[in-house]
Amino acid sequence: MALANAGIKRLLADSGESRGWVSLRTDLVTALLGVWFGIGLMIDAWAHRNLAELETFFTPWHAAFYSGFAAVSGWIIWQVWRNVRAGRQGLAAVPQGYLAGLVAVPAFAAFGMADMAWHTLLGIEQSLDILFSPSHLGLITTMLLIITTPLRSAWNAPDIGARPSLGRLLPAIIGLAFAATLVSLFLSYGDAMQWGPQSVVEAFSSLQDPAGDRLATVMVVTNVVLLAPVLLLMRRWRLPFGSVTVMYAVAVLMPGAQTGFKNVPILLAIVVAGVANDLLIRWLRPSGGRRQAYWAFAGLSGFVTWSLYIGFASATGGGLPAVPELWTGAPIVAGLVGLVLGALFLPNAVDTEEA
């Protein structure tokens, strides 16, 4: 026992070397295993929403989810263990950007055990309560730390620069995009991407229908969830073309899974909005060092995205809504919210190399 304790203390004692970075290939594997983890959660979310007979913790859907956790956490631990075998100890063995993910691994496992106990004692949630379960909130928080590991790894990597290629930035984009889907899942009651085209048209066709109030509210919430990650990346890098398209294509997967992909026109509108945002970036060239262009993008992004949302809904849901103030004003509100976000994220221009 004394020898074991001595071995653990020796392993945890920092050997003093500066922490290094992993390769792009390693980050890409981390991101792809995070995709497995995220897709597993989407499958589980679909099952909770669409299968009324769920009565146990031990389901194929949980197997897909937790196997993804095992894969990505095993890979993160392996990166540390490789450094330990090379003679590093303590923090010196943990690659840059991987510490939070490493700490989150045992925390996620603990919340998983708590979730199993919760389901065993209190049953399986299938409605709004699933989004407020303490064990689920713990799982989602630690999961977010794990799958954003490639983003933290890339943030100050010495080889990335201020204008990376899409290939170099892809692991960070994938990690952050799937993190945004976790947020959208736990804000499902405020997710405009789950609405169908006809529901959008009907909601904005009556001033007496409370659905109009709700749609206006969820559009604002979803606008923030979609745009905030893009603005974060843009504050650090000059984003290459395709970045927002990738992020928005990932963003539609969670609401698509929850609705059984019954609202494809709405989901397609968001993907097209991603392409439009990439075109805006190419035109405006926003970055942390170009504050006016950054603010302009933030405002125009919200306006363009939600104009496309209403346009696709109208084209496939029975025509323009009957209340013109609602369908013309809602994209303007989104644009103004985007402008406020831009001002909050970048109150003053910064050197992107030091961001």
Are the C-beta atoms of residues 63 and 98 closer than 8 Å to each other?
no
CA distances to 110, 172, 260 from 149, in Å: 20, 8, 29
Residue type present at position 90? G
- State which amino acid sits at residue 116: M
**How does pLDDT run across 170-211, given as a tens digit for each residue?**
999 999 999 999 999 888 889 999 999 999 999 999 988 899
181 vs 136, residue with greater confidence: 181
Q: For 78-133, how does the pLDDT look when each residue is reduced to its tens digit (9 = 90+)?
A: 999 999 988 888 888 999 999 999 999 999 999 888 877 776 665 565 566 677 77
- Distance from C-alpha of 332 to C-alpha of 300, rounded to nearest angstrom: 9
Q: What is the pLDDT of residues 144-162, one digit of tens each?
A: 999 999 999 999 899 998 8
Confidence of residue 11 (pLDDT cuts 50, 70, 90): low
Q: Kindly provide the b/e burial profile for residues 239-249, where b requires at least 16 CB atoms within 10 angstroms of the residue's own CB.
A: bbebbbbbbbb
Which DSSP state fits 287?
Answer: B
Position 19 scores a pLDDT of 81
Q: How far apart (Å, rounded) are the C-alpha atoms in residues 76 and 111?
A: 19
pLDDT band at 137 (very low <50, low <70, confident <90, very high): confident
Instruction: Give the residue among 170, 277, 166, 283 at the shortest CA–CA distance from 230.
Output: 277
Q: Provide the β-strand partners of residue 287.
A: 290
User: CA nearest 171: which of 158, 145, 153, 185?
Assistant: 153
- Listed by start position, the domains of the chain span 1-159, 165-355
Q: What is the reported pLDDT for 219?
A: 97
Is pLDDT above 50 for 354?
A: no
Mean pLDDT of the chain: 88
* pLDDT at residue 106, as a whole number: 95
pLDDT, residue 66, reads: 82
Q: What topology does CATH give the domain 1-159?
A: Four Helix Bundle (Hemerythrin (Met), subunit A) (1.20.120)
Higher pLDDT among residues 288 and 351, named by residue: 288
> Per residue in 16-56, pLDDT tens?
677 888 999 999 999 999 999 888 888 877 776 666 565 55
Helix 264-284, helix 210-236: angle, nearest 10? 40
Which tops the pLDDT comparison, 235 or 257?
235
Closest-CA residue to 258 (of 35, 40, 44): 44
